[in-house]
Chains A and B, each alone.
Chain A
Amino acid sequence: MAFVTPDFVPAIPEIFVLGMACLALVVDVYITERYRLFTYQLAQSTLVASALMVIFLYPAEAVVTFNGTFVSDGMSTVLKVFILLVSYFVFFYSKQYLRDRNLFRGEYYVLGLFAVLGMMVMASAHSLLTIYLGLELLSLSLYALVALNRDSNEASEAAMKYFVLGALASGMLLYGMSMIYGATASLDLAEVYRVASGGQANDTLLVFGLVFVVVGLAFKFGAVPFHMWVPDVYEGASTSVTLFISTAPKLAAFAMAMRLLVDALPSLHGDWQQMLIILAVLSMAAGNVIAIAQTNLKRMLAYSTIAHVGFLLAGILTGTQSGYAAAMFYVIVYALMSMGGFGMIILMSQAGIEADRLDHFKGLNERSPWFAFIMLIFMFSMAGVPPFLGFWAKWSVLRELVAGGVVWLAAVAVVFSIIGAFYYLRVVRLMYFDKPEDATPITPGRDMRVMMSANGLAILGLGIYPGGLMAVCVSALGA
């Protein structure tokens, strides 16, 4: 049988990342401890170059290649750019932290690059198989990253839990995919869409496949009741890894949800809307309420993530183009905020001290007024206080919910947002109104200072002028 050489061009960024990850792996074996920074620089330049390639290759219209397994379109481009951008910041924030803890090894960056590759593949997946491949590449890298700090019992335990539950969820996802394949006789999402919406597929089978696919998705998102791994992993992993897990993979998970639910199975919107409503309500409720009970900031942010995921799902479940755009806006905003939140923990952590308890943030204003202000931006933004970026994210989702006729869900979302505002504002209160337990000033390196400030001011600046980012999301889904 003839073998057709596919069009490699749309996948050049992925191929490049793969090549560079392998290169970094090999190079890292041969360089001595003194030159370890080289691996870091290699990883960072890979991300930058790849992002430039993605932007340069921005397709006028969707291009499908590799026998219908890979697609490059507006959504994939935008998500990839943000995945790469966020990863760049993550690697950057982690540098000093890892050094201080003697974890500054090539593994972090190599695994990180492979995870990035997995996410990019997920963003561009056009076949059930590609989705799964990307997802597993990402997940396996993350399992290993969580266990990176091998001397830490918490990290090993978290990695083990993550792995066991993750494997279970992957299995379910795969099970669901196989049923969809059984019902539609194709792995190609476009073909699945054609068969499913043409009414030629066996409905029972398809709905079952959908149930398991949604379970898999919910797990990857960390939506309640598939959220149990999130707090343990966030707390157990070293903060640099938590930072990574909490940001870019959410973008990829969003891409996966869009590909599976919207690109392939819009004909089952009624079914998955029901499921997502349940997940969204439970996530918003449990996430926001349980977060109040936390004393560990990483754990608190884990529950905050869960609550945000609820919002994100609410955007997707509207089933409208503008709803998807709102959800995409939300997930990007979330990634930027979460990056800042965990970045602040890293910034506060000095050698030997892990500033992951709420108490560590007491009186931050006296130790560093500027970073207290930056943290205030992140907290307010996460709480959805105008005019910060997080407000617009919440607002656009709520608007779409109302427009989509799910007014009650919007009301529920607002109620839980109010409850959620509690714990964010508690952090602000601790920073500004309490006396610090340890009054040493915070003195991060200059580069860290600049990047962190840029992160915070971006939340503020984009909050004052959110139109641009919003327009990007809208047009990305239109292309």
Chain B
Amino acid sequence: MLLLLVCVPFVGALLLPFLASRLRLPPAGVASLSAFLGLILVLTQATPVYDGEVLINRWDWMPAIGLSLAFRLDGLSLLFAQLILGIGILVVLYAHYYLSAEQAQSRFYVFLLLFMGAMLGLVLSENLLQMLLFWELTSLTSFLLIGFKRRDPAARQGARLALLLTGGGGLALFGAVVLMGQIVGSYELTAVFDSGQSIENHDLYPVILVLFLIGAGTKSAQFPFHFWLPHAMAAPTPVSAYLHSATMVKAGIFLLGRFFPVLAGSELWFYAVSGMGLATLLLGAYLALFQHDLKGLLAYSTISHLGLITLLFGLGTPLGEIAAIFHIINHAVFKASLFMAAGIIDHETGTRDMRRIHGLFKHMPYTGALAMVAAAAMAGVPLLNGFLSKEMFFGETLALRWLSEAEWHWLFPWAATLAGVFAVAYSLRFIHDVFFNGEPRELPKTPHEPPRWMIVPVEILVVLCVAVGTLPSITVRPLLEAAAGAVLQMPLPDFSLAIWHGFNQPFFMSLAAMGGGVALYAGRHWVFAVHDRLPVKLSGKRLTEGLIAYLFDFAHRLDHALDNRSLRRYSFLLLLTVLVLGALGLWGAPLAGSGARTPLDSGALLGGLLLGAGALATAVKHRSRLIAVLMLGLVGLITSLLFAHFSAPDLALTQVLVEIVTVILVLLAMYYLPEATPHESSLARRVRDGVLAAAAGIGIAVLSYAMLTLPPDSISSFYLAESKPAGGGTNVVNVILVDFRGFDTLGEITVLGIAAVGIMAMLRGLVLAVPERDWLGRPWSSDRHPLVLVTVSKLLLPIALLVSAFLFLRGHNEPGGGFIAGLVTGVGLILQYIAEGSEATRPRLPWDKLGIVGAGVIIAVLTGIGSWALGYPFLTSTYTYVTLPLIGKFELASALFFDLGVYLAVVGTVLMILAGLGGLTRRADSV
């Protein structure tokens, strides 16, 4: 049932555009019908609630995280639901006459209904997260309503400010709710209420309370977040009448009441809430007097009254709560009617400036009379509803005296009276300035009474003001008791709602407020002059805007600092961070392990020094590319030698060959590039980068040292132990390649082949123009194929082939193997290309290079399949020993065939890549 209730406005909003455009129903009619339907639904549920029952409807929603959709109807929700729907109907009726036809009517009512639904959902929520959802939805929809006049910059700004504050407050509230849920272990209100003192006694209670108050305070325009409300007055008046009297701004108050049982009672609650309320009460009342805009006055007065309610909640006394709830009702009623009256005045005169509107009583006596009654209720004149709750408020501030822990109790009655003085003064101003005080000045329209039905909502509300003011026990007492019971969660104390309590202190305070107010208003010219001369006018809006501007500025500066789109900057930052992280990790860690050190010998030392010098030279001379590449070659060579020196001949062989091939590759590529790199960076930057590079190098060195001196690990022990028995070879590296990881190697040579094909495909048809002269204008050497090189290369080729055969055959046991042999053969052949040129070499090497690669891969695959044929799984290897003449006993492993495949694939690939790149030149020459 409650779900249905919440759904009614949403469904109304959904159907409204359709009903309005297709069936030509007036949008206001549809809207008020939905609200009316909702009200009926509420009233059908109300009877048990008046008796103190709590209705809870629950559906599973997100069972995975224990979330359910749950609604709760208790006294407090009932009160608010009636306010939302009841005033909603009146506002819709009013808006129908207020809004001109050309303003997109159905859009307005859709927003209004959405807002109504969000408010209903908020007050009826049992689940806290669901409550938050609706809370944010009210912020959003109120944003749409405030900014309804889209082209009006003031409306946009006001809407934005409201959304900024209330939305941000919602997030704070979110934090409070999550924390509460965490403490209680459930997000259900019932569970939270049952948790007793556990939240208040928790360490995080202050955090929760502060976040909670930020949420409630922003919504209810409490100091220091009050400043959005006056700016929200740019909204159409029906919106103000609805949002800023009965609903939106009361949401924060609702929250105070909702969480009163769990959060109130502590000293912190007293000081924080009543302090906030007091400041708001005084500030709002004071500022309201100085507004010239009719709605501005009402806005500040709203702030002040909200402060009053907050203050009452802050006191934490049961009677205070009753007074607070009473004032919620009263304020909603008289403020809504006042907003509507202000709207009528605006509508009929074309302005809201109180410096121009005077003497309207002559032109619109009926509206004037109603507005005066409502304003009197706002001022707290006896026999009207405002008087009763104000009297209770005065009484409560006086009662503080008996609370021993409140040190500043004497302040409250005085402050309350002072606020009362200002309230009377601004109410008087509303009445006197607008309806009397001379003739209107330069009004855009001639004022007259509004259409009959536009004033009906005001009538109803004013009648309510009087009815509550004169017959409180009959009109509001049941509702008040139900709501107060829900807030307090305990039996209510005895309280009296009589309109006359005798000549007691609260009455004298009221009298003082009346007298003071009249006096203040009488002397207003003097007061205004003083106010205008006040030097400091702190504007929350300007402060917020300044903050935002600062944020934007900061964002721009950060953007420039971090994101200058330079790769150099990026890599610098990247390396720097890694260095810092590494250094942090290294901090305190042992820099050297306990492993045995290899003694330093002269060879290693020399090698190390050369290595360093080579690396340094590469970096320093990187602009002269040829030198840099040669230096890089030196580094590679020394590395290989160091491998050899430290008993890794296999690695050394591979390394030296790979170095050679890479250097050739780089040289080939360099042929097409300028000889030198231009200077592009300043010295300072180079020094900076150099320092970073050095630091990174040292870091890696330290890390390597630390790692290498750790006690040796057992990674390699398996292979060392299994190499001979399982793979039949003593060269572990080779056995790993062709046996243990044979499948990987098969994959690798396949990839090698694919890469070769890819390169060939990319180079096909590519012609690069080679400059005739270098960048200094010198022609290239005419002797392309030096005789010495040609001769030597011819001599070297057979030796290279022999060596590669030797390396290949011994590979399984001694340093060597198919990969290395392939590289040796490849390098030997490449030398022929370099020495004699492609044209001369090509006819002598007629084989299809792609074919070589393919043959290699196929041989390797066949070896694998061979073991299948013999009944073993793929690539199972075996070995035997054969004795060949001259060579002697010789081990023949099936892996040898596999290695042959590797050999062929490597040779083919090296030839294809290097000859292909070299071939580009040839074509370029012939162009």
Contact = CB atoms under 8 A, between A and B. Distances in A.
Interface of A: 1-5, 160-161, 164-165, 168-169, 172, 179, 181-183, 185, 202, 204-205, 207-208, 211-212, 214-215, 219, 225-226, 228-229, 231-232, 275, 286, 289-294, 385-387, 391, 395-396, 398-399, 402-403, 407, 410-411, 414, 417-419, 421-422, 425, 429, 432-433, 465-467, 470-471, 474
Contacts of A179: 707
A150 to B, nearest CB: 13
Given A290-B558, A396-B65, A471-B63, 12 more contacts: A1-B727, A2-B872, A182-B707, A231-B563, A292-B552, A293-B552, A294-B559, A395-B174, A398-B175, A407-B179, A410-B178, A465-B62
B132 interface: yes
Contacts of A165: 567, 570-571, 574
Given A293-B559, A386-B133, A470 B590 contact: no
A4 B133 CA distance: 57
Contacts of A386: 132-133, 136-137
A394 B532 CA distance: 47
Interface of B: 61-65, 67, 129, 132-133, 136-137, 140, 147, 150, 156, 160, 163, 167-168, 171-172, 174-175, 178-179, 181-182, 204, 207, 548, 551-552, 554-556, 558-559, 562-563, 565, 567, 569-571, 573-575, 577-578, 581-582, 585-586, 589-590, 703, 706-707, 710, 713-715, 722, 726-727, 739-740, 742-743, 867, 872-877
A290 B562 contact: yes
Given A211-B585, A289-B554, A425-B163, A182 B715 contact: yes
B318 to A, nearest CB: 33
Contacts of B567: 160-161, 164-165
Contacts of A425: 163
Given A2-B872, A275-B581, A228 B713 contact: no
B442 to A, nearest CB: 32
Contacts of A422: 548, 551
B595 to A, nearest CB: 11
B555 A292 contact: yes
Q: Among B62, B63, B179, B575, which residue has the most Cβ atoms of chain A within 10 A?
A: B62
A168 B556 contact: no
Contact of A470 (B65, B136, B706): B65
Please list the 3 inter-chain residue pairs (A to B) with the smallest Cβ-Cβ separation, ordered nearest first.
Answer: A467-B62, A228-B570, A471-B64
Nearest to A302: B563
A363 to B, nearest CB: 10
14 contacts: A1-B739, A1-B877, A3-B874, A5-B873, A160-B567, A165-B570, A185-B713, A211-B581, A292-B552, A386-B136, A398-B178, A407-B179, A418-B168, A465-B62
A402 B555 contact: no
Nearest to A210: B585
Contact of B167 (A289, A291, A421): A421
Nearest to B584: A211
B136 A402 contact: no
Nearest to B580: A225
Given A414-B171, A466-B62, A387 B137 contact: yes
B179 to A, nearest CB: 6
B863 to A, nearest CB: 12
Given A160-B567, A228-B563, A467 B64 contact: yes
A169 B581 CA distance: 14
A417 B171 contact: yes
Contacts of B559: 290, 293-294
A182 B168 contact: no
Contacts of B140: 385
Contacts of A228: 562-563, 569-570, 573-574
Contacts of B876: 1-3
A409 to B, nearest CB: 12
B573 A225 contact: yes
Q: Secondary structure of the A side of the interface?
A: helix
B179 A402 contact: yes
Contacts of A5: 873-874
A286 B555 CA distance: 9
B711 to A, nearest CB: 8
B63 A467 contact: yes
A290 B552 CA distance: 9
Contacts of A290: 555, 558-559, 562-563
A3 B873 contact: yes
Contacts of A403: 182
Contacts of A474: 64
Nearest to B589: A204
A466 B129 CA distance: 13
B156 A208 contact: no
A465 B61 contact: yes
A225 B576 CA distance: 10
Given A2-B876, A3-B874, A205 B710 contact: yes
Contacts of A399: 65, 178, 181-182
Contact of B175 (A168, A172, A411): A411
Nearest to B548: A422
Contacts of A182: 707, 713, 715
A432 B150 contact: yes
Contacts of A429: 156, 160
A44 B558 CA distance: 42
A18 B648 CA distance: 38
Contacts of A275: 581
B742 to A, nearest CB: 8
Contacts of B147: 433
Contacts of B581: 211, 214-215, 275
A231 B573 CA distance: 15
A34 to B, nearest CB: 24
A228 to B, nearest CB: 4
Q: Among A208, A219, A291, which residue has the most Cβ atoms of chain B within 10 A?
A: A208
Contacts of B63: 467, 471
A226 B178 CA distance: 32
A182 to B, nearest CB: 6
Q: Among B64, B207, B562, B714, which residue has the most Cβ atoms of chain A within 10 A?
A: B64
Contacts of A419: 551
A429 B150 CA distance: 10
A398 B556 CA distance: 28
Contacts of B722: 1
Contact of B707 (A168, A205, A212): A205
B740 A225 contact: no
Given A204-B589, A467-B65, A286 B558 contact: yes
Given A385-B136, A386-B133, A417-B171, A293 B555 contact: yes
B175 A410 contact: yes
A92 to B, nearest CB: 30
A414 B174 contact: yes
Contacts of B575: 168
A172 B571 CA distance: 13
Nearest to B725: A1
A467 B706 CA distance: 51
A245 B873 CA distance: 41
Contacts of B586: 208
A181 B175 CA distance: 43
A3 B739 CA distance: 9
Contacts of A2: 872-873, 876
Nearest to A292: B555
Contacts of A385: 136, 140, 167
B168 A185 contact: no
Nearest to B64: A471
A440 B715 CA distance: 67
Contacts of A411: 175
B558 A168 contact: no
A69 to B, nearest CB: 11
Nearest to B169: A418
Contacts of A286: 558, 562
B710 to A, nearest CB: 6
Q: Among B67, B570, B575, B877, which residue has the most Cβ atoms of chain A within 10 A?
A: B570
